[in-house]
Amino acid sequence: MTQRIAVVTGASGGLGETMCKAMVDQGHKVAGSYLPGTDTDAKEWQQAMQAAGYEVAIYPLDVTDYDNCCSFIAAVEKELGSIDVLVNNAGITRDAPLKRMQPQQWQDVLRTNLDSMYNMCQPVFDAMCSRGFGRIVNISSLNGEQGQFGQANYSAAKAGIYGFTKAIAKEGARKGVTVNAVSPGFINTPMVRQIPENVLESIVAGIPVGRLGQPEEIARAVAFLTAEEAGYITGTNLSVNGGEYMS
């Protein structure tokens, strides 16, 4: 197994942490990011990962800031080496019906969830192509596929990821760089567990498999698409939603 350098943005969240573990399990050196100014204690998070047997470097990063992304990438490459695998996982929600959605709510979600795709991919893409290997996975959402009441901003951003993914997949295809998306449905994370119990019960009732997904099931999809053997899969979206939306 070839050891690669892998980056996961939004690493300290419920999905990101599990993705980092999956990358380590693949034999990679892994760097994760967290948003400065949040309640994440990077040192405590890293120590908890180490206690679980996972060595992950952690860096502050604002994915909405192109220059900050470039600085983050330079720091990772100085410490670990050239980035071979990039998982764009960082994202936020700012929900409101369109009639009450404020411009800042729209802009914050588009900048974090969609602009970040450019901000992270552009600085590493040419080098991946030059080396003849790269794996990029962009985390979209069930609600980018089907839309969702009160999430015009989030649904638009997550749907935009598909076009971005397909476009740069064509640019990297002959150079050994694959670019794919993964679209999680409702996953058993702290954020989803904050949904009122009666609402969550109705959500689960509408999922054909009859349960929430587990973070490990998303991480497994990411690991599949970032594997050495996944070189013939590019420009596609892998929906992991328990059958809630079938395209």
Active-site residue list: 154
Nearest to 87 by CA among 212, 232, 192, 221: 221
Cα–Cα distance, 132 to 148 (Å, whole number): 39
Contact call for residues 40 and 34 (beta carbons, < 8 A): yes
Q: How many Å apart are CA 190 and CA 115, to the nearest integer? A: 25
> How far is residue 30's CA from residue 39's CA, in Å, rounded to a whole number?
22
What residue type is 219 in one-letter code?
A
Residue 202 and residue 195: Cα distance in Å, rounded? 11
C-alpha distances (whole Å) from 145 to each of 22, 90, 142, 155, 213 are 25, 18, 5, 8, 17
